[in-house]
Amino acid sequence: MSERPAEAPVPSTRWTLATRHLGWEVRVFDAIESTNAYALTLTHDPTLHGLVALARSQSAGRGQFGRTWTAPPDSSVLMSVLVFPPEPLRRPAVMVAWAAVAVCDVLERVAAIDAAIKWPNDILVGGKKLCGFLVQQRTTGHADEPLASVVGIGLNVTQTADDLLAAGLPDAASMSSVAGKPFQVDAVARSVIYHLDEAYERLLAGDLSTLESLWQYRLGLLGKPVLAELADGSTRPGVLLDVGFGGVTLRDGVNVVRLAPEAIRHLSPTS
Ligand code: BTN
């Protein structure tokens, strides 16, 4: 007997936001395995461009490098945005920078938190991780159809410093643990979607340089000695001369090298 396909999770509610591209439908789940896994099941359908899956809790949240992402129910923004971007925007580096800069903007506007982006996918405050991103891409399966990107965002909102310690996460932070006051998860989630939407409009208009400069600023490493760990396992030390979607430029003595952002697994300050 053939196995019955698993039933699709049912959202407990849906929001419709007054945006241009994203969040025309936000499917809100009380509980789901993973919003990224859910959004990946929709990547065959470009008419769903801009759909957002948002969860109050996840039982199998996915993190970077095959790790899991855990968060107590109702404590965090757990969302995945499904987009079918035009060619120049499809690169993982652009997708991650887009999401990371939007979350940094939200942290600043909503909570007066000045956050930094840690290459490639983390947002840190005072050296502690407040947010992580997982970008997963799929083809639609039809030759001429666009590539889909699922941009997963896990942003800690309400956990206190004690909660994070008790959960065995001494290197994690949340908006509340940093700002010392409460925040509403849904309001923060909406704010993230609005910021992403505004930035997407700029990107579609061909303006990648605004995002590039904000990304550069939040990385905070220009002119500093850094170590680039490459995807092939090798490392490159050097002073960081430039960071952009076109390349990352390092000077090591008299040698200047330019690396594709996607070739760099980690980029960390060395002093
Ligand atoms: C990381 O820093 O390891 C990436 C974390 C990404 C977690 C988010 S939570 C919402 C979305 N759904 C998932 O399963 N993962 C991402």
76 lines ligand 1 (CB under 6 A): no
Q: What pTM was estimated for this model as a whole?
A: 0.95
Name the average pLDDT for the chain: 95
Give residue-wise pLDDT tens across range 87-109: 889 999 999 999 999 999 999 99
Identify the CA nearest to 190 among candidates 42, 29, 21, 54: 54
Helix/strand number for the chain, H first, E second: 6, 13
**Confidence at residue 7, expressed as pLDDT on a 0 to 100 scale:** 84
Q: How far is CA 137 from CA 34, 95, 149, in A?
A: 15, 10, 4
DSSP annotation of 126: T
Q: What average pLDDT does this structure show over 16-36?
A: 98
Q: Whose CA is nearest to atom 9 of ligand 1?
A: 154
Cβ–Cβ contacts within 10 Å for residue 27, how many?
22
Closest atom of ligand 1 to 76 CA is: 9
CB of 156 closer than 6 angstroms to any ligand 1 atom:
no
Residues 90 and 109: their CA atoms lie apart, in Å, by 27
Ligand 1: residue of 52, 153, 157, 171 to mutate (most ligand atoms within 8 A of CB) is 153
34 lines ligand 1 (CB under 6 A): yes
Task: Check pocket membership of 61 for ligand 1, CB cut-off 6 A.
Answer: yes
Q: What ligand 1 atom has the least distance to the C-alpha of 63?
A: 3
Q: Residues 153-171: pLDDT tens digits?
A: 999 999 999 999 999 999 9
Instruction: Spell out a b/e string for 149-171, using b for 16 or more CB atoms within 10 Å of the CB, else e.
Output: bbbbbbbbbbbebebbeeeebee
17 close to 27: Cβ distance less than 8 angstroms: no
pLDDT tens for 61-92 read: 999 989 999 999 999 999 999 999 998 899 99
